[in-house]
Structure 1
Amino acid sequence: MEAEELLRELKRNVDELHAYNEIGKALTSTLDIREVLRLIMEKVGELLQPTNWSLLLVDEITGELFFEVAVGPGSESLQGLRIGAEEGIAGWVASRKESLLVADVSQDERFASRFDEATRFSTSSIAAVPMRSKGRTLGVIELVNGRGQPPFDEADVRVLGSIADFAAIALENARNYRRVEELTIIDEHTGLYNARHLLRSLDAEILRARRFGHDLSLVFFDLDRFKQVNDRHGHQAGSAILRECGEELLQVIRPADIAIRYGGDEFVCLLPETTSAEALAFAERVRERFKARAFLESEAGGLRLTASFGVASFPEHAADADELLRRADLAMYRVKGSTRDGIQVG
C-alpha cells in the first residue's frame, strides 16, 4: 500500500514538473496573454481535474473581478458577470491576497450562491489562490467541485499557487509590453492612436474584410482654418483643441472602431464592418458634435470650429489599403476646396 501511495505521489510530482516546464516555455515564446492563460488553465485541468475552474482578472479601473477564462458545466453563463471587492470566495481572496481552501461551501458565509444560480451548478468545495505581483493582486484562479466529488486539499492549493505565480508573471510581462507598445502608437496630444498604428491596422482590417466579405469604411477629416487658431491664440491653445477633438471622437466611436490623429489637424476613423452609408452617418454625427462644441471655454464664449470630411469604403471605392486612404483623403480635399464644413463620399 505504501509503495502504491509513493508511486502516485511520484507520478504527481513528475506531472507537476512537466506542466511547469510547458508553462515556462509558453512564457518565453509569446506575449499573447490569451494564449499563455489558455495554456495555464489547460494545465490546471490536467493536473487537478476539477469540475469547474476559472481565472478571474482584476479590472484596473473599477477593482472588480471579471471572468477571463471559465471552464466547465454552465461556465458560458459566467461571461460578463463581475465580482465586487470581498464578494464571494474569489473576492475575499483578491482583497486579502491570501489562498483559501473551503471543503464545504454550505458552512462558509463567504460563499456567494448567485454564481451557482447563473450556471445551475451545485458547488461543494472550492480552492482559490491570488495571482500577485509587486504587492498587487492581478487576479484569482479558482477551482470548483460539485456535490458528490472529493473536496480539494492543501496539496491542490500548493500546486495551484505555483501555477498562479506563473500566471502573474505572464500577465505582468504582457501588460508591460502593452504599455511600451502604447508609447509608440499613441499620440501624446490627443490620446488617440497615431499614423503608425493606422498603417498597421488598415492592412489587417482590409485582410479581415476581404476574408469575411465585410465592408470597411474610412473617414478622413481636417479642422477648418486651424492655422488661424494657432496664429491668434498660440500653439498651446492649438494643442488643447486637438486634445478636445480626441475627447469628442472617443465619445462617438464603437469599441471596434479605431480613431487616429493622422498628423497636424488631420484625423482618421477606421470603421470595421461599416458601409459607406453608415460611415456617412457617422461622419455627420462627428461634424455636428464639433460644430456644436465650444472649444477652449476659458476663452470668451469659447471657440467655434468646423471640419471637412471625406469618406471611402472597401470594396465599394477601393480595392486595397492605400487606395482606401487616398480616396477618403481626396474626398476630404474636395470639401476643403469648396464649402468646408461638409462631407463627400468616395
Structure 2
Amino acid sequence: MAKLTTFGKEHLVFVARILFSFVFFSFLLVIDFAIHLKLISVFLFILLVGGYAFLSFSKQRQRCNFLVQAQKHNSQKLERLYGLSGELSKTSFIRDKLTETTPTLTNFFGEYFQSNRFLLFVKKGNVYQVLAAHNVTLPKRSRVSIKSKSEFISWLKSADGLKDLKFMQTTKVPSSLRSLQKEYQFDRLIPLLTESNLWGFVILKTDEKSTSQIPSQVEPLLDEKLPLFVLNQIALNLEKESISNKLKEIEKKSNTNAKQTGIDLSVLNRDLKRKIFDLNAVLGMAQNIYSVMEEEGLFSTLARMMQDHLGAKSVFLMFPNKENGDIVGKYFYGAHTSDIFGKESLSELRIEKGKALYNWIKNEKQIWHLYTMQRISHEEELLKALLASGFQIGAKLAFSGDSFGIVFLGEKTDGAKYRQIDLEILAILVDMGVITYQNIRHFKSIEELSYTDSITGLYNYRYFYKRLTEETFRAKRFGRKLALVIFDIDDFKIYNDTYGHQAGDQLLKQLGELLTRTVRSIDVVSRYGGEEFCVIMPESDQQECLKFAERLRKNIMNFPFKDEHLKQEHNITVSLGGAIYPYDARSVDRLIYCADMALLKAKSTGKNRSVLYQEKLVAVNHSV
C-alpha cells in the first residue's frame, strides 16, 4: 500500500496560470489591433492552454505509474516477509550453530532495516556474547561479552521495538560495546524479548544513503511492526532451547541419583519408568507442540502429554475472559464435564477477577497443590468441586502482562501421588505451551496485519478475494445464494484536489467505521482499492441485496464526515453495483465482473444510485 505525495497547491497554480493567460489575451482582443494579430493571440492562447493541459496529464500519469510500482513492490516484500516468518518458526536455533543463519539474517536486515552491518548478541549463562556478525571484524570475539546484571541489560529488558543508540550517551555501557559502537557507527538496537527473559539483542548500522526500489515520489506504507514480529521468532526459539536444556539436566540428574544410590533402573517396573522418567519422550514431543499453529490443537496435544507422561486422569484448562478479565473454563479432557462439576457448559465455571482466589493464584508460584488453597476460600464453589473430584495440582500459564490461565490436573490413574519429578516435567510442559501459544498469537497478528488496510482498518483486496472464493464455494456446496456489492465514492478525486489528501484519508477512515456499523455480522467488508469498496453478503438474493445497497447509500449520503484540519463537515455520495451468485455468475471472477458492470451503469446514469446487474448492461457499458 502506498500513497502519492501530491498537494492541491499544484492544481491551484495551474488554474491561476490559465486565468492569467485568459485575462491577458482577452485584453489583447479588446484593444484595437489588426485582425491577424488578434488571430495570432487566439492561437497562442489555445497553444498555451493545450501545453499546460498536456503537462498536467503527463505528471498525473507518471504519478499513477509510481503508485502501481510501489504497490507491487510492497506486495512482493510482504510475501517474502510472510515466508521468512514461517521459515524461522520451523528452524531450530542452537546457539553453537546460530552463525549458520548469518546469510539469512544479512538479507533480512538489509531489506527491511537498510542495514549492511550488524552484531547479534545471545544469552549464554550469565553473559551475552556475539554469536553472529556481518561486516564487523572481531579478533577477540570471546571478550566481547556483557554481564546479564549490568545496567545496560536491565534497561533492555524494559525496552521494545527498534531503538536509537543515542541512549548509550546517558546509560552505563560496557567499554567493549561502546568501542564497537564508535568504530562501526552502530545507530539502532533491537531487543529479542519474550515474556520471561531477554534472550539477546541486535545492533545495526543503518545506511541512510541506501537507495530504495520505491521512487522518491512515493511514500512506502509497509507496517514496520511486521519485520519486528518476524525477528522476535529468534527470541522464542532461543527460549525453546533453554527449556530443552532444562529437560536434559533433569534427565542427567535422575540418572546420577540412581547410580549413587545403587539402584538399577532396569529393575524397576517398566511402565512406571516410561510414564515418570521417560524425559526423552517428552523432549521428542516438544517438536510436535512447537509445530502446532492452532490454539485448540495445541492444548489438546498438551493435555494428552500430561495424561500420558504424568498419569493424570483429567486435565482442565481455564483462560482469561477478554471482556472482564475473569478466568473462565475452556477445555476439559477426561471424564464428562457434567459428571465432574455438575455443569453442562465450561463457561459457567469461572474465577472472578479481584476476588481472593484470583489474587492468590496471581501472586502464587507457577505450580502448587490444591489443598494449599483451602485456607483462601472455603466457600469457593469451583475450588470445592475440584477438591471433591480428586484434582490435586494447579499450574499457572503466565501470558503477557498480568494475564494468566490455569491448568488443573486430576488424580493419577494408578492412585499414586504426584512426585517432584512429575512437577518438574509439568513446569516444562507448561512453559512449552505458553511459548507455543505466544507463537500462535504472533502468527495471527502478522496474518491480520497482512490482511488489513492501514487507512480504513477494513480488510484489503487480498483478503477480499480469499473470502469471496471461500463463500462462493460454500454457496455452491449448500445450494445457497451469495450477493456481492461494489461501490465507490462519487467525485472523490475532486474532493482530494479541493481539501487535500489528508482530508481524503480522514474521510476514508470514517467511511470504514460507518461501513462496519452498517453491515451484518456475517457480511465481509473490504477496501477494493482507492475509493472503491466491496461487501460480500452470504445467503442474500436480489431483493435483499438491493435493499441493503439503498440503505447503505442513504446512510452514507446523510452522514456528516468531519474534517479535523478545516473544522468542517462534508457530505458525499456513492454509486453501487450488485450481482448475485448463481443467477448472474457461477465463478468468482465473473461475479466481480458483473458487480463492476452494474457499478459502471450506476455511474453513467447520474451517480448516487444503486444498480443490480442485468445481461443487457454489458452491451450498454461497452458503448459508453
Range into which the TM-score falls when normalised by the shorter chain: 0.7 to 0.9
Counterpart pick for 1:22 among 285, 303, 308: 285
1:42 equivalent in alignment to 2:304: yes
1:10 equivalent in alignment to 2:276: no
1:320 equivalent in alignment to 2:587: yes
1:307 equivalent in alignment to 2:569: no
Q: 1:183 to 1:50 in 2, by over 3 A?
A: same
Deviation at 1:222, TM superposition (A): 0.7
The 8 Å contact of residues 138 and 168 in structure 1, kept in 2 or not, is answered as no
Q: 1:108 to 1:270 in 2, by over 3 A?
A: same
Counterpart pick for 1:329 among 596, 607, 610: 596
Unpaired runs of 5+ residues, structure 2, are: 1-263, 339-343, 614-624
Question: What is the CA deviation profile of residues 196-245 of structure 1, one whole-angstrom value per residue up to 9, with x for unaligned ones?
Answer: 11122222222222223333222211112211211111000000110111
AA matched with 2:525: A
Q: CA separation in 2, counterparts of 1:206 and 1:253?
A: 19
Unpaired runs of 5+ residues, structure 1, are: none
Q: CA separation in 2, counterparts of 1:52 and 1:272?
A: 41
Counterpart pick for 2:368 among 79, 96, 100: 100
Counterpart pick for 2:512 among 209, 226, 246: 246
SS at match of 1:198: helix
AA matched with 2:489: L
Counterpart pick for 1:77 among 331, 345, 364: 345
Q: 1:111 to 1:315 in 2, by over 3 A?
A: farther
The 8 Å contact of residues 190 and 245 in structure 1, kept in 2 or not, is answered as yes
Structure 1 residue ranges, 4+ long, deviating more than 6 angstroms after superposition:
2-5, 114-117, 149-153
Q: 1:106 to 1:61 in 2, by over 3 A?
A: closer
Q: CA separation in 2, counterparts of 1:314 and 1:88?
A: 56
SS at match of 1:125: coil
SS at match of 1:140: strand
Question: What is the CA deviation profile of residues 87-121 of structure 1, one whole-angstrom value per residue up to 9, with x for unaligned ones?
Answer: 5857753565633321387665177426999x9x9
Q: 1:223 to 1:27 in 2, by over 3 A?
A: same
AA matched with 2:590: E
Judge which range, 3-12 or 276-285, deviates more.
Answer: 3-12
1:189 equivalent in alignment to 2:455: yes
Deviation at 1:184, TM superposition (A): 2.2
Q: CA separation in 2, counterparts of 1:9 and 1:96?
A: 30
Deviation at 1:315, TM superposition (A): 1.9
| TM-score (norm: length of structure 2) | 0.48
Deviation at 1:80, TM superposition (A): 7.7
Deviation at 1:326, TM superposition (A): 1.4
Superposed, which structure 2 residues align to 1:49-198 within 5 Å? 50=312, 52-59=314-321, 63-71=325-333, 72-74=335-337, 77-79=345-347, 83-87=351-355, 92-94=360-362, 98-103=366-371, 108-109=376-377, 112-113=380-381, 123-132=389-398, 137=403, 139-144=405-410, 157-198=423-464
AA matched with 1:267: F
Q: CA separation in 2, counterparts of 1:312 and 1:116?
A: 59
Q: CA separation in 2, counterparts of 1:256 and 1:96?
A: 42
Deviation at 1:319, TM superposition (A): 0.6
Q: 1:307 to 1:234 in 2, by over 3 A?
A: same
Q: CA separation in 2, counterparts of 1:99 and 1:45?
A: 17
Q: 1:54 to 1:125 in 2, by over 3 A?
A: closer
The percent of aligned pairs where both chains have the same amino acid is 26
